Amino acid sequence: MTQTMAPSDGRAWRRFKRNKGAVLGAITVIVIALLALFAPVLAPHDPDMPFKSRTLTGAGVPIGPQREFPLGADPLGRCELSRLLYGGRVSLAVALAATLLLAIVGTSIGVVSGYFGGWTDTALMRVVDVLLSFPFLLVCMAINKIVARPGIWVLFLVLGFLSWTGLARQVRARTMQVRSLEFVVAARALGASHSRIIVRHVLPNVLSLVIVLCTTLVAEMIIVESVLSFLGVGVVPPTSSWGSMLQESDPLLRTVPRLLAVPGLAITATVVAFNLLGEGLRDALDPKA
């Protein structure tokens, strides 16, 4: 039987259900994820197909919302709704994959550092200090610009490998707490191996912390991805992400503010939803609450 410091599943779930904001966040996240997942079914048009004669006026201004194009057209005459749905796929996929990667790296390093202590800990934490001292956004931009074939793979690797530091620090602190708990000390006295103690006792106890942190990190990754694409060093055209939609709308910002509002609202709603969910999970899973 594995012991944990977190409340039992039932209690956490009841607490979560009572938190209206958290439930709202969870529902929004699910809806957005489903929209992105089923983009190919839901999108009325090919997101990369310009319908110039039908969607751009003589002066080259994209048309507004109408039956065939519910959110109007983008500056190149493509269907805005289709790009929004497909863009959501890219933004969410990059953010989720990057978060998964950083969770694996950050948790491993945090657990190893906190569990073994000593020189291992010192060395790993110095690496964290150095990484944290790099201006994150600038380094992401530079790497994305420099690699020969940029794309969403590069984006996800860069984001994942550069942003595990905060998580690692917190996991390390929690691991150090867990290591000194009685049942862990007892397991060690009984001759359990390090790997067994880590897998059976430490990991289950840091898991809730990792889940909570990762939920808000997804929101952060969505922002970073859109900032990079917005600055022109993220996804490569014609791929759309919410950030690249904002970038493409830039020259027409004044005449067609809809092009700012559509991806802007999508990003904001998603980020708020993930943050609400994260806050709700923290309140539900936090043993101290």
Partner 1 sequence: MTSFLLRRILAALAIVWAVSTLSFFVTLKLGDPVATILGPRASARDRENVRRYYGLDQPTYVQYGRYMARLSKGDLGMSYRYRRPVSTLIAERFPRTLLLAVMSIAFEVIVGVALGALAAARKGTRTDQTIMAGAFVTMSLPTFITGKVFLLVLAYYFGLFPIGGYGVTMLDHVYHALLPALAISLLSTAAYARLARNELVEILQAEYVRTARAKGLSEPVIVVKHALRNAMLPIVTSLGLSFGALFTGAIVTESIFAWPGVGRLAFDSVSGLDVPVIVGCVIFGSFGIQLGNLLSDVAYAFLDPRIRHG
What are the residues binding partner 1 (CB under 8 A)? 129-130, 132-139, 141-142, 145-146, 219, 223, 226-227, 230-233, 246, 253-254, 257, 260, 264, 267-268, 271-272, 275-276, 279
Q: Residue 104 Cβ, how far from partner 1 at the closest point, in Å? A: 23
**How many residues can be counted in the chain?**
289
Minimum CB–partner distance for residue 162 and partner 1 (Å): 12
Q: Which is nearer to partner 1, 107 or 226 (CB)?
A: 226
DSSP state of 73: B
Nearer to partner 1, 197 or 235 (CB): 235
Per-residue CA distances from 88 to 25, 38, 47, 145, 227 (Å):
17, 11, 12, 23, 14
What minimum distance in Å lies between the beta carbon of 199 and partner 1? 33
Among 33, 50, 52, 51, CA closest to 42: 33
Min dist CB 53 to partner 1, Å, is: 29
Q: Which is nearer to partner 1, 85 or 267 (CB)?
A: 267
Listed residue (242, 239, 232, 235) closest to 270, CA to CA = 242
Query: Closer CB to partner 1, residue 135 or residue 191?
Result: 135
CB 195, min distance to partner 1, A: 31
CA 94, CA 219: separation in Å to the nearest integer? 11
Q: Please state the closest distance from residue 94 (CB atom) to partner 1, in A.
A: 15
Residue 202 DSSP symbol: I
Q: Is 149 exposed, middle or buried (0-12, 13-18, 19+ CB in 10 A)?
A: exposed
Structure tokens at 122: 């010192």
